[in-house]
Chains A and B, each alone.
Chain A
Amino acid sequence: MAIDPTLARVERELKHTSPLIGCRFDPSGRYLYATAQDETIVRFDTTSDEKLSLVGHKSWARGLAFLPGSTSSSHTLLSADYHGKLFWWSSADATKPTRTLDAHEGWVRAVAVSPDGSTIATCGNDHLVKLWTAAGAPIRTLEGHASHVYNVAFHPDGRHLVSVDHKGILKDWDWQAGKCVRDLDAKALHSFDPRFYADIGGARGIAFDTRAGKVRLAACGITNVSNAFAGVGNPLVILFDWVDGKPTLLKLKDAFQGTGWGVAFHPDDYIILAAGGSGGRVFFWKGDDATSLHEVKVPIGARDLAVKAQGDQFAVAGANGTAYLYGFTPPPKVEKKPAAKPKK
């Protein structure tokens, strides 16, 4: 059944004791993995109250992705941290990592897995994009960015890979040939603040979509920055038509101050953005309409967004340590108790 964004509401609050950073649903949709400032990854079972802490990182992690498992219900989680490390965690026993790798010099900002599950891409503050086998053997390094690389994603065809840096340079790579095919313009996601002499930018979230009969790419972050150090700017999604590379800046119907931290395509042809700044918001766009049609107030600044493959739920990683699990079902009706009869 198609969703109705106006019905989006918090169905469950998945609580942790430390502020959350990133979140992703496993391919089955049962588990939500969330990274936290206490350097753990929390696995919330969305079907029960159970949660498990994945302990191993010695820093914050934000990048999360999944390798397919040997069965439909198994998977391997990849997590990437600020110290340049990439971790593998098996769903069979997630209490300890099955492998760790020194992937980059400095922060690994994102990790992605190719559609066939055979290749891993990572990117980071060393300005590099790196390709690895699923087991972690190096394949090749892509050089060309001149600033921190904030995000990476595989095109659904598996042959192309995109990466976006701090300055809003989006590179389309033929990764097997090791060549940059073209640059796309995501510079609206970068600003230099002359008051504070600081750059702010980067794609904090990125997603591909093929479901509307064409390939589209969305990248999100912050734009219109007037005060970088106070985060005074607006969240932005740039939507690219993959064929011609033409960008469309998606607008917010109502002004909001903050950063777009996560963007995803919903199976029912919606684009969803989670933003944090002066509070938290989730915005919805429909089809090719460049103006948001609906927004949902999140109880706290949103730091990431995950949409379940099935489309019936999405999750927002909260700065207060809570992952808010949203659904699109009407709220249960509360039966009104009959008024007590007045005592005689």
Chain B
Amino acid sequence: MRAPYFCNTAAHSVNRRAFLGTSLGAAAALTPLGFASAAAAKTLQKSQKRVCVIYLSGGASQLETWDPKPNTDNGGPFRSIPTSVPGTHISELLPLSAKQAHRLAIVRGVNTKENSHSPGRTIMLTGRRPDPAIQYPHLGAVSAKLLGSESDTLPGHISILPNAEGASNKSDAAFLGPKFAAILLGDGKPPANLLRPKTLTEEADLQREALRKKLTDRFARSRRSAATEAYSESFDQADQIFRQADLFDVAKEPAKTSDRYGKHDFARHLLLARRLLEAGVTYVKVSHSNYDTHHENFDFHLEQMGEFDRPFTAFLDDLQDRGMLESTLVVVMAEFGRTPKINDRYGRDHWGTAWSVALAGCGIKGGAVVGKTNANGTAVTDREVNGGHLFHTYLRAVGLDPKKNFYPNDRPVPIADPAAAAIDEILA
């Protein structure tokens, strides 16, 4: 079976020698830590658009984050606090984020009409409801494909998870092909056994790799398929990571910086995301686990938002300080929100009917709040949007035209759901 790729460009026939040549050439501009020189970084920062999704796995509560309803039957025990934007209040669990509200756009009228984890995830990451007839690529694959370039020395799509066990990237890229599927970093670490064993010399490794490549190329000339392509891409991606392994080591950061983020796993993962974006990775998704609080929602949100708030704001500060915020779209999302009604175990359940997403950075109008829910949070009363609207908005924010098409098997497939449109009110 031929790989059902949307085109036959060089992106799908990466020449390893050319890749190595490019990466070596690019590496000449890198500092010993793998970072671009100040001048090169500046050019990168201005020209390259990037995306970072902070994914609150399990579904964070909108009432304990961006749309609090204190002193109502559904409000829970926490209060709302004023932010740096006059008139905008968010949960007291986000005191540092409140000080950066002028950088954030809050979408409070999200209604995805979906209360199950997996379909909710699909809606939020592809901008479409799951469709048995076609798999749509995730935002990460779309970003890597449309924002990345042939000269990138790192994979364009990276997903940092608390634990990669059981995680899959199979559906990430869909018809865009394995080159754009996520590299999964469990606990922020490159996959096990990626690095060259100490017993294997560099020379022997190169010889081995050359032989593998020769055989692969010969095979691909006559029998290229999705499977061989995926195989080949995985080697290329592994090689890319291997050559910049230091990049993945957040211990290389000054103690002062890591202290600003915090010492826990999510802090470390978000700091790694910043390093990767800074080094030119197009799309990084960082998952923070977990918010699926059917039981004791308030204790757990206290714990989880306490972990989220500090590194999130340190991350925004870092992007701003490096001149990267205006070229990096940051999205804080989940698969859904949580029920306004509090259950008898102090929990909140799944709720896709009226919840919130926050954005910052590239193309986003800081301080904007769009959409409204009713007094106790049970319904959207103004400017209802769904995953499709948000997907359009992400693309527009980074300068892409969501109305264009991909052409898998020469058939036009709109990049974003044509039934939706961007949320213009939050676009700069």
Contacts and interface: CB of A to CB of B under 8 A. Distances in A.
Contact of A18 (B71, B73, B290, B303): B73
Interface stretch (B325-333, B340-348, B362-370, B383-391): B340-348
A230 interface: yes
Interface in A214-250: 228-231
B79 A198 contact: no
A229 B79 contact: no
A327 interface: no
A82 B295 CA distance: 18
A262 interface: no
A329 interface: no
B246 interface: no
A125 B302 contact: yes
A229 B301 CA distance: 11
Contact of A229 (B73, B78, B292, B344): B292
Nearest to B307: A197
Contact of A200 (B73, B79, B289, B296): B296
B73 A198 contact: no
Interface in B287-335: 289-290, 292-296, 299-300, 302-304
Given A229-B58, A231-B345, A197 B289 contact: yes
B265 interface: yes
Contact of A196 (B265, B290, B302): B290
Contacts of B162: 197
Interface string A186-214: 00000000011111100000000000000
A301 B296 CA distance: 13
A159 interface: no
A83 B79 contact: yes
A276 interface: yes
B393 to A, nearest CB: 30
Contacts of A38: 73
A320 B300 contact: no
Contacts of B294: 229-231
Contacts of B58: 196, 229
Contacts of B342: 19, 37
Indicate the member of A37, A197, A231, A276 with the most B CB atoms within 10 Å: A197
A301 B347 CA distance: 12
A277 interface: yes
Contacts of B87: none
A228 B58 CA distance: 13
Contact of B290 (A58, A125, A197, A319): A197
Nearest to B264: A197
A59 B162 CA distance: 34
A172 interface: no
Interface of A: 18-19, 37-39, 58-60, 81-83, 107, 125, 195-200, 228-231, 258-259, 276-277, 300-301, 319-320
Given A18-B73, A59-B77, A231-B296, 15 more contacts: A39-B71, A59-B70, A59-B78, A60-B77, A81-B77, A196-B289, A199-B303, A229-B58, A229-B290, A229-B292, A229-B293, A231-B294, A276-B344, A277-B345, A319-B343
Closest 9 CB pairs of A and B: A319-B344, A231-B295, A82-B77, A60-B77, A196-B290, A301-B344, A197-B289, A229-B292, A59-B77
Interface of B: 58, 70-71, 73, 76-79, 162, 265, 289-290, 292-296, 299-300, 302-304, 342-345, 347
8 contacts: A59-B77, A196-B58, A198-B304, A228-B300, A231-B294, A231-B296, A276-B344, A319-B344
